[in-house]
Amino acid sequence: MAADAYSARLRDSRRHRPGGPGAPAVTSMDLDAATLVLGAGVTVLTHPLLYVKLLIQVGHEPQPPIMGTNLFGRKVLYLPGFFSYARYIIKVDGKKGLFRGLTPRLVSSAISTVVRSRARQVIPLSDMEHVSNKDDIKTTLNKVVTETSHEMVVQCVSWVLIHPFHVISVRCMAQFVGREVKYSGLFGSIVRIYKEEGLMGFFVGLVPHLMGEVIFLWCCNLLAHLINTYAVDDNFTHAPAVRSYTRFVMGMAVSLLTYPFLVVTDLMAINNCGLIAGNPPNFPVFKSWIHCWRHLSAKGHLFRGSSFFFRRVPMETAKFTVE
């Protein structure tokens, strides 16, 4: 979303060149290059967060919980937050260890940018900009559905193409648990997965990935449109500002709803692939992603890793630790 916003600003600068008629125009290639650079930068900056999140998702807790107090003054056991976990990774692997599995994510970012750019060329932006519920609050529901359908197709194609690199990245990061070196590089990982699992090995966990992203997209767009149309009064002074942030707020809310799909996707990517993190006794060999979902749901782990701070120890574990 940040990359798309940056592209929009670049398009505006192309239409209104500050240097006058003689100033050079911003070309489509310039936009793609800028988006690639921005996307790579965001990927690098956020990778440690996603790395820690993944290790929490697989249940790897190498540090003991600490005693703290909640808002009511009661003593509560908390698991280490992001910064404590990151310091532990640095202690074990050094600062470079925080970027384990980064290369496949950079490739994914680049592929996603290229796919979106090509889609914009097939369906010109001028045809789509005027049907955005963020720009025109009077947009009909049919136009919102049309825009969302277009976006869904583009993103589904992108997700299918980048999912193999997501699988590689997740497996590279999960090796931290068992200190394996099975997936040591991008090309080496591709060869290993193909030899051991065939072509389908690159697409394990794809179904929950697509389902989560599609549900997220439709819920965000439709809820934002309905709220902007029926809940925000045109007579309100700051109505335009409120409407501009509606989709962002809806995205944060809906991301909590679809988070279990992300957990299942990541666990399916490492399940039964020879890594300690994804094999018994940590996890059973799942027959399908539905089996994985049911297993996590029964243990109350569908939202594990959704928070980086104030992670309370589960009640059963807390009682055992105190005793």
Domain of 102 in residue numbering reads as: 30-316
pLDDT band at 114 (very low <50, low <70, confident <90, very high): confident
Whichever domain contains 259, its CATH number is 1.50.40.10
In a domain, 5, yes or no: no
Residue 196 or 67, more confident: 196
In a domain, 4, yes or no: no
pLDDT in tens, 158-177: 999 999 999 999 999 999 99
In a domain, 15, yes or no: no
In a domain, 20, yes or no: no
Rounded percentage of the chain residues whose pLDDT exceeds 70: 77
In a domain, 322, yes or no: no
Compute the distance between CA of residue 203 and CA of residue 211 in angstroms, rounded to an integer: 14
Domain count, the chain: 1
In a domain, 23, yes or no: no
Residue with tokens 């260890």: 97
Name the least confident of 143-147, 194-198, 269-273: 143-147
Stretch 307-313: mean pLDDT: 81
Stretch 62-72: mean pLDDT: 80
Q: What is the pLDDT of residue 86?
A: 94
Q: What is the pLDDT of residue 76?
A: 80
Residue 23 in tokens: 């100033």
Compute the distance between CA of residue 273 and CA of residue 201 in angstroms, rounded to an integer: 9
Q: Quick check: helix, strand or coil at residue 139?
A: coil
124 to each of 9, 30, 266, 306, how far by Cα in Å? 17, 17, 35, 37
In a domain, 1, yes or no: no
> Is the four-CA dihedral 69, 75, 81, 87 of positive or negative sign?
positive
In a domain, 13, yes or no: no
Which pTM does this prediction carry? 0.81
Q: What is the pLDDT of residue 236?
A: 65
Is the model's pLDDT at 18 over the cut of 50?
A: no
Are 38 and 2 spatial neighbours (Cβ–Cβ below 8 Å)?
Answer: yes
Q: At CB < 8 A and 24+ separation, what contacts does 184-189 make?
A: 185/103, 186/103, 186/104, 186/107, 189/104
